Structure 1
Amino acid sequence: MRAETILPAGSWDVAREVDRVMIDYDRRFRRRIVLTTVLGAEVLIDLPQAVRLRDGDGLSVSTGVVRICAQAEDLMEIHAHEDGELVRIAWHLGNRHLPVQLLDDRIRIRADHVIGEMVEGLGGHVDLIQAPFDPEAGAYSGGGHHHHHDDDDDHHH
């Protein structure tokens, strides 16, 4: 199977799902990669440029759509007693260019005991969890996204 189009999560009809692929965060930013599906088929993703595949996105193939499923990984979920502490911790993590996933009152990063000790030193609490990792698209994710709107054009009549 060959996929040349990524269908953003929520934009495709789930009835068209024919298979799925489980991929971890490291393998979700790719231009060209061969993945083995849950049913044992191979799907080649071949795109003009690298894109960040997100949980629930679909790969458009000739027979339908292959769903992207984010694989659970070893993560650390960080919380703090006060918002101010959490903001300070987030700043330290960002300063090290670590990918972070921001939730309402918690931050998730990949498990790393050195960083865990730093976080606890800053007054944070760390829980080891297994969950899919879907960090913020920041500067480290390979370029910004420019959304073009028709009303940005200068040729108004």
Structure 2
Amino acid sequence: MLKATAALPANHGKGKPFAQLVLTSDQRRLRRKVLNVKGEEVLVDFPEAVTLDHFGGLLLEDGRVIEVIAAPEPLLEILPKGAEHLAQIAWHIGNRHMAAQIEKKRILVPRDHVAKAMLQGLGAEVRDTTEPFIPMQGAYHAPH
């Protein structure tokens, strides 16, 4: 079984990948796991949990690289009325400990009918979408 020796950031410059691995946001957060890549088993066994970057990778002990791609996921696209409204909605999302991808003019969260009703109640336009999800990492997930 091959072993992954490092998680690589996006734009790592370690060469062309021999394979791609498409993972959801939850699957990209790992510490110990056996992955199946092109019929080969790859052991990930890091000292601490890591979040694999979209377009980042895994460096294998034989020097090859597996590129990590964020999988499309069912999400809610939240469109606030402006910057202040976006900040208020972000506060409510954080208060509920929801994973969120916060951008300048929208927020993405996992699709959930209860959250959708709350967000609409706060005056946001909310649409269903399916796209890669790259949520912000919390303060306790900062790289060391």
1:57 aligned residue: 56
User: How many angstroms does 1:83 deviate by?
Assistant: 2.2
Cα distance in 1 between the residues matched to 2:89 and 2:104:
14
How does 1:128-143 map onto structure 2 within 5 Å? 128-139=128-139, 143=140
For 1:117 and 1:145, locate their aligned partners in 2 and report how far apart those are by CA, in whole Å: 32
C-alpha separation in 1, matches of 2:82 and 2:142: 33
User: Residue 85 of structure 1 aligns to a residue in which SS?
Assistant: helix
Match of 1:12 in 2: 13
Counterpart position of 1:76 = 76
| Stretches of 4+ aligned residues off by more than 3 angstroms | none
TM-score, normalised with respect to structure 1: 0.83
Gaps of 5+ in 2: none
Give the counterpart letter for 2:56 in structure 1: D
Whole-Å Cα distance in 2 between the matches of residues 33 and 95 of structure 1? 31
| Higher fraction of helix | 1
Judged with a 3 Å threshold, the aligned counterparts in structure 2 of structure 1 residues 70 and 144 are, in CA distance, closer, same or farther, namely closer
% identity of equivalent residues: 37
Of stretches 93-102 and 26-35 in structure 1, the one that deviates more from structure 2 is: 26-35
Secondary structure of 1:90's partner?
helix
Paired with 2:33 and 2:69, the residues of 1 have a C-alpha distance of: 16
Tell me the C-alpha RMSD between the 2 structures: 1.6
CA distance in structure 2 between the aligned counterparts of 1:51 and 1:146, rounded to whole angstroms: 8
In structure 1, the gaps of 5 or more residues are: 148-157
8 Å CA contact retained: 1:21, 1:35: no
Aligned residues: 142
Please give the TM-score of this superposition, normalised by the length of structure 2: 0.90
Q: How does 1:8-157 map to 2 (within 5 A)?
A: 8-15=9-16, 17-37=17-37, 39-61=38-60, 62=62, 64-139=64-139, 143-145=140-142
- How far apart in 2 are the matches of 1:146 and 1:33? 20
Could you tell me how far 1:144 is from its partner in structure 2?
4.2
